[in-house]
Structure 1
């Protein structure tokens, strides 16, 4: 696992200063502390930080083809490189190393831009072909590995693994994008392709970019999407057997490593499934690690221990201080833009623990999205039944009024008691799902923003990010559609971002077997009723795992990686919240309604409402302004 950075002159062939390239590269030292490499020639400069995993002795980057006309910098792993290597050798290519990186340069020579179709893995890479005068950027299908890019005023196109390197370039103007901020307060992260800065973008998953000297800024090209194409008739038994076969294969190819390897084990279904498969594939005990919490409402350690005992793993557990909020300001520096998933705190700690013993860890990320594990999917389908029974022209005024008048409707049937349910029924499917996942609901954001900020938005609404994907979705099934929306937004913008930054901050490589693209393709084609059946999410996965895991692992209520924010904000962080939300840093942006901020704080402190998620979202934004932009009470020019 690595960090990459580069500069490309769209206008000409200037020679970039070595000192500048080296400095931008070393900003990502944490992503690759083992080695550093640079390549500079007229019009092009590459930098690479290496975390050595495969071919420790000869896998240095930047890496070249035989005549040095093609050079690549690469972050990730190509898991099928051992299959591609003999195929390319048979076609006449000569290999000097045993690394997966060298497969990329020869695959490019043989198949050009279509090479990405042949790779099975997680990757972000930049490749310069001098003979063709092409700079080629590519990102893996699911977006496991990040890739940022920006066009600088002097005609330089810059790319990097993390936004902090782009932001450090002296020519980059760190002007904030109001639309990204609107997205942030709705989702808690900034969905692709936006970044918090107007001048920088994320290359979306499953996309490539092709640049030429003297050319214009190109549009990204999509080379893959989750198909949701039916695999045809299949019995439950057949699906169970095929699922285990595919899961075992996905885990197997991710166990290739020349450094110590292990797994995260939370005690949930997904990580337990991965450990069960690893144990069956390894002659040695699997290294596992987990975090425990003092509060039983958040603690899954006993379930993780059950799995560890069953498979005789080398299991390590560390208890996190229930008041472990020392990372608050560090998070802003790790994520480079506002990011509001509070589980980033325990995720950082479990990566920190794992790195003491291994360099590579397998995780269970992705299972909730591809096998329908979130409870909100069940709620959404129940609401869809009602939405399909009444036209929107009737539902919008009827349930919209109820949602306004009845914040708490105890007299109604159970499914109608929540204000949010009424509001959801007054919307179309995509709008309702956006409402369900929003941290600051639309009505809350209307109170949060000042007229000045609303004017800067120019009518933009955060739901546009989700609607853009819905318009091109390959499915209209109610369950499959919201799974697809999560894969395009929440999975990449929240889950994978969290794991990448937390792991890389600790120089740890994390691999996700449940995000193998072939697994995802097959899973998306399964009948939706095998994923969510009788109110049971992950139905077919759980059934297939019954021979491998106990029922109290498979069928207990999902806990998640939560932290006790509500108690923190009424207790040890009470004063910090007041200083951050009611202080000068947010106030002098001119974007936030001060009276509404006071309402959020006081109502939460008094226990009138639980505003812990919105408060955390604001706390992280304020921390970003101070730690990434250097904004102080006396200087808000960067956000004005």
Structure 2
């Protein structure tokens, strides 16, 4: 994790060295190990250096090639070094002295604007090509490394690792983008271009961009293929392949010149990363591995120490702890908002802040994270939907029962959500024999009345189909209002003004259930919230000059997991089945076969209502009224009163509504952007 920035005046003005120095100083927290600038006429680059890899100790950025034709600044860690070194044949320097940025530059010299397709790792970079008079920029596959820019056609293009480095320049306007506020309040973060500031944009993940006097060209250099499927000989072959790819995803993120720490929550994902990393370090004599975990002495239902200890008891670790119930979600926000450039979305934001602060105090520079293994490997629950559509009722019922047993819920509740809707499909297709067989199976296994099943899932859908036919409405037209998810927190006049409903229709994933598990898996991996979350995690780490590495965000691992057959994701009620099989003997058995993990919402609720109650009441009584143009205050106050009521009738939606409004009010107030 370093910091990069640059200015390109398209109108020919000369870059002011002091402007570059302002940007470099603004991002001092991203790189305490060095700072430098390069400028020539109407173009200039800056860089803040954080040493993490052995090669970075030798790195000096911005970097100019030997002929002076190319200049690069970057925030990058390249993971396929051996492959690139073999192809690029950089012979004028020992391999151990070739930096990742040199590899990127050499890749550009060989493949030009297609070079991003050959890179693996986490990266954001910009290359000035003097001969072409173009600025080439690229960002990694999932957006681990951020890239923000401000562009005025025919005038200027300015970029940086953080928005604040753009806003420190007086000619970059600091104006609120109300469209982004609407997206935030609607929990719809699918737009991967815009930010909370007008005219400040993001280069989307897996995108390259060329900036020149004639404008900007931007394109996607990679995308996930939802049609590809892998077929291997048996379960062991799948497990072996997963183990190999996952181990490599962890291994390439262990390249460091400093001690590293692994975040260990006790869940399947963080434990998998931690155990594999420990084994790999031990193989080369670099153990033990530092770990850091959140523990809860007061809100004990959130405590995961039995599972954390199951990992630690294997040996090879130096454990560290933070107390997750000592702070509330509104604590330390003044410190956080100095660095976070956009409003916080997730209510668990204070855990990484506490963890990264502790890691910094321990002298760490690199942190391993099991972030979003759920999405990468997939719990596979949509396999039930797939089985229902395929009419495989026996298998669907078996899986529903197994899931219920692992998670201590009612089997029929599981089946009702994922199986019953597809009875109606049989009726619509006039497959009455299959319909009757399915009804018999449901009655046999769950004791549900056959009469009610036939009435509500057979006769009523059939009657509706006949009614539509006689009306001549073979296709029912759905109005935009009825097809949209409800956004009751948003002020309706504001929603109309920014055309929020149209944005949701255009950008939000379709509400109908996917036809297959792979479709559902693909949707989850391509949602805009993924990059948004990674960007915020990057800024949390940057506060403490840390680089966070995410093995589950490895392109090779994601492609492999998406292409797996459904039964490798959900089998006998176990989600992420392939991962459980693959890590046999590596994970403690108690974690390998965990059904779920602790719900941290009691600690959030307790923190908001007790530890942070004074801040909460102050916001709700004084600051929230300033958001009337954006928020439906009556709806918010009703949710707030339900939360405060003694009968404990508040829903999860009530808590999220309150969190969104309060955090937005505090962020806008801190940034001086409140209406």
TM-score, with normalisation over the residues of structure 1?
0.84
Q: Report the Cα distance in structure 2 between the residues aligned to 1:581 and 1:553, rounded to whole angstroms.
A: 42
Deviation at 1:458, TM superposition (A): 5.9
Residues 264 and 572 from structure 1, CA distance in 2 versus in 1: closer, same or farther, beyond 3 angstroms? Answer: closer
Structure 2: tracts of 5 or more residues without a match = 389-414, 429-447, 453-460, 462-477
Residues 487 and 545 from structure 1, CA distance in 2 versus in 1: closer, same or farther, beyond 3 angstroms? Answer: same
Deviation at 1:154, TM superposition (A): 7.1
Q: Deviations over 1:558-590 (max 9, x none)?
A: 226656232234334334223324434543552
Corresponding residue for 1:291? 294
Q: Report the Cα distance in structure 1 between the residues aligned to 2:636 and 2:427, rounded to whole angstroms.
A: 35
Given candidates 558, 582, 600, the residue that maps to 1:520 is 558
Alignment of structure 1 residues 492-511 onto 2, 5 Å: 492-511=530-549
Q: Is the 8 A contact 1:64 1:102 kept in 2?
A: no
Q: Is the 8 A contact 1:189 1:493 kept in 2?
A: no
Deviation at 1:376, TM superposition (A): 8.7
Q: Report the Cα distance in structure 2 between the residues aligned to 1:391 and 1:198, rounded to whole angstroms.
A: 47
Q: Secondary structure at the match of 1:571?
A: helix
Q: Deviations over 1:389-442 (max 9, x none)?
A: 447999xxxxxxxxxxxxxxxxx99xx9xxxxxxxx9xxxxx9xxx9xxxxx94
Alignment of structure 1 residues 528-567 onto 2, 5 Å: 528-556=566-594, 557-559=596-598, 564-567=603-606
Residues 387 and 48 from structure 1, CA distance in 2 versus in 1: closer, same or farther, beyond 3 angstroms? Answer: farther
Q: Secondary structure at the match of 2:561?
A: helix
Q: Is the 8 A contact 1:288 1:315 kept in 2?
A: yes
Q: Report the Cα distance in structure 1 between the residues aligned to 2:176 and 2:424, rounded to whole angstroms.
A: 42
Alignment of structure 1 residues 6-405 onto 2, 5 Å: 6-10=6-10, 12-54=11-53, 55-89=55-89, 97-152=97-152, 155-187=155-187, 191-212=191-212, 214-218=213-217, 220-228=218-226, 229-282=228-281, 283=285, 284-294=287-297, 295-324=299-328, 325-355=330-360, 356-373=362-379, 383=417, 385-390=419-424
Q: Secondary structure at the match of 1:136?
A: strand
Q: Deviations over 1:176-234 (max 9, x none)?
A: 3333222212327574122112312211111111111x21233x201111223112244
Q: Report the Cα distance in structure 1 between the residues aligned to 2:426 and 2:632, rounded to whole angstroms.
A: 33
Residues 572 and 520 from structure 1, CA distance in 2 versus in 1: closer, same or farther, beyond 3 angstroms? Answer: closer
Q: Is the 8 A contact 1:180 1:190 kept in 2?
A: no
Corresponding residue for 1:482? 520
Q: Is the 8 A contact 2:190 2:528 kept in 1?
A: no
Q: Report the Cα distance in structure 2 between the residues aligned to 1:82 and 1:110, rounded to whole angstroms.
A: 16
Q: Is the 8 A contact 1:179 1:460 kept in 2?
A: no
Deviation at 1:321, TM superposition (A): 3.9
Q: Report the Cα distance in structure 2 between the residues aligned to 1:332 and 1:376, rounded to whole angstroms.
A: 38
Q: Which moved more, 1:475-484 or 1:33-42?
A: 475-484
Given candidates 619, 632, 641, the residue that maps to 1:602 is 641
Residues 315 and 446 from structure 1, CA distance in 2 versus in 1: closer, same or farther, beyond 3 angstroms? Answer: closer
Q: Is the 8 A contact 2:22 2:169 kept in 1?
A: no
Deviation at 1:257, TM superposition (A): 1.1
Residues 33 and 463 from structure 1, CA distance in 2 versus in 1: closer, same or farther, beyond 3 angstroms? Answer: farther
Q: Report the Cα distance in structure 1 between the residues aligned to 2:547 and 2:426, rounded to whole angstroms.
A: 47
Deviation at 1:447, TM superposition (A): 5.2
Which entry has the higher C-alpha Rg, 1 or 2?
2
Q: Which moved more, 1:446-455 or 1:27-36?
A: 446-455
Corresponding residue for 1:580? 619
Q: Is the 8 A contact 2:623 2:665 kept in 1?
A: no
Q: Secondary structure at the match of 1:45?
A: strand
Q: Secondary structure at the match of 2:314?
A: helix
Residues 393 and 350 from structure 1, CA distance in 2 versus in 1: closer, same or farther, beyond 3 angstroms? Answer: farther
Deviation at 1:518, TM superposition (A): 1.2
Q: Report the Cα distance in structure 2 between the residues aligned to 1:234 and 1:495, rounded to whole angstroms.
A: 37
Q: Deviations over 1:216-262 (max 9, x none)?
A: 233x2011112231122442111111111111122122111112223
Q: Deviations over 1:4-25 (max 9, x none)?
A: 1111123x32211111111122
Residues 559 and 197 from structure 1, CA distance in 2 versus in 1: closer, same or farther, beyond 3 angstroms? Answer: same
Deviation at 1:510, TM superposition (A): 1.3
Q: Report the Cα distance in structure 2 between the residues aligned to 1:492 and 1:609, rounded to whole angstroms.
A: 28
Given candidates 612, 620, 637, the residue that maps to 2:663 is 620
Q: Report the Cα distance in structure 2 between the residues aligned to 1:285 and 1:572, rounded to whole angstroms.
A: 36
Q: Report the Cα distance in structure 2 between the residues aligned to 1:485 and 1:72, rounded to whole angstroms.
A: 34
- 1:5 lines up with 2:11 in the alignment: no
Q: Report the Cα distance in structure 1 between the residues aligned to 2:161 and 2:384, rounded to whole angstroms.
A: 36
Q: Report the Cα distance in structure 1 between the residues aligned to 2:162 and 2:34, rounded to whole angstroms.
A: 18
Corresponding residue for 2:464? none
Q: Which moved more, 1:95-104 or 1:227-236?
A: 95-104
Q: Report the Cα distance in structure 2 between the residues aligned to 1:269 and 1:464, rounded to whole angstroms.
A: 35
Residues 188 and 350 from structure 1, CA distance in 2 versus in 1: closer, same or farther, beyond 3 angstroms? Answer: farther
Residues 517 and 222 from structure 1, CA distance in 2 versus in 1: closer, same or farther, beyond 3 angstroms? Answer: same
Q: Is the 8 A contact 1:184 1:339 kept in 2?
A: no
Q: Report the Cα distance in structure 1 between the residues aligned to 2:32 and 2:658, rounded to whole angstroms.
A: 35
Q: Is the 8 A contact 1:31 1:507 kept in 2?
A: yes
Q: Report the Cα distance in structure 1 between the residues aligned to 2:586 and 2:221, rounded to whole angstroms.
A: 36
Aligned pairs, how many? 588
Q: Is the 8 A contact 2:186 2:489 kept in 1?
A: no
Structure 1: tracts of 5 or more residues without a match = 395-411, 417-424, 426-430, 436-440
Q: Which moved more, 1:522-531 or 1:445-454?
A: 445-454
Corresponding residue for 2:632? 593
Q: Deviations over 1:583-637 (max 9, x none)?
A: 3454355222332222122121113314222111111111221122x146xxx3x
Deviation at 1:464, TM superposition (A): 3.2
Corresponding residue for 1:464? 506
Deviation at 1:452, TM superposition (A): 4.1
Deviation at 1:531, TM superposition (A): 0.8
- CA-based RMSD: 3.4
Residues 234 and 177 from structure 1, CA distance in 2 versus in 1: closer, same or farther, beyond 3 angstroms? Answer: farther
Q: Report the Cα distance in structure 1 between the residues aligned to 2:375 and 2:500, rounded to whole angstroms.
A: 33
